Structure 1
Amino acid sequence: MAEKKPAATAAKYGREELAASSSVLFGVPPEVLAGALHGVDKEELTVAEAKRFVNQFLDRKVK
């Protein structure tokens, strides 16, 4: 029987690192990323988590 390998965990990055690469990773300026992460308690996030927050932020309805 083949051994199961543990799933690789995604790398986590600090807010500053994500902001520095926000235009490449998410197609948005750092200011948009800052708005998307406002109120998020995590200091380190995976790229997928940050992308989810950015998409939620961009899809919000304006009141």
Structure 2
Amino acid sequence: MFDFAQAIMEMADIDCKLNPIESKDFPTAAKRPAYSVLNKAKIKADFGVEIPHWRISLKACLSVIKNI
């Protein structure tokens, strides 16, 4: 999540100090695996869709938000 927040700040040109923390230091009711990555292979194969890299989608999303 730190990388995602960092990318938002960078792309939106926001000067804000981010402090990374470990998941164990941010208690939630949901149990989280130590390492989990979204595998897009099945949805790509089953539906024949191309899923852009998250940074490309984030940039598009921030562009839409900026124009609202």
Q: Same fold (TM over 0.5)?
A: no
Question: TM-score if structure 2 supplies the norm length?
Answer: 0.28
Question: TM-score if structure 1 supplies the norm length?
Answer: 0.29
Q: Give 1 or 2 for the bigger CA radius of gyration.
A: 2
User: Which has the larger share of strand?
Assistant: 1
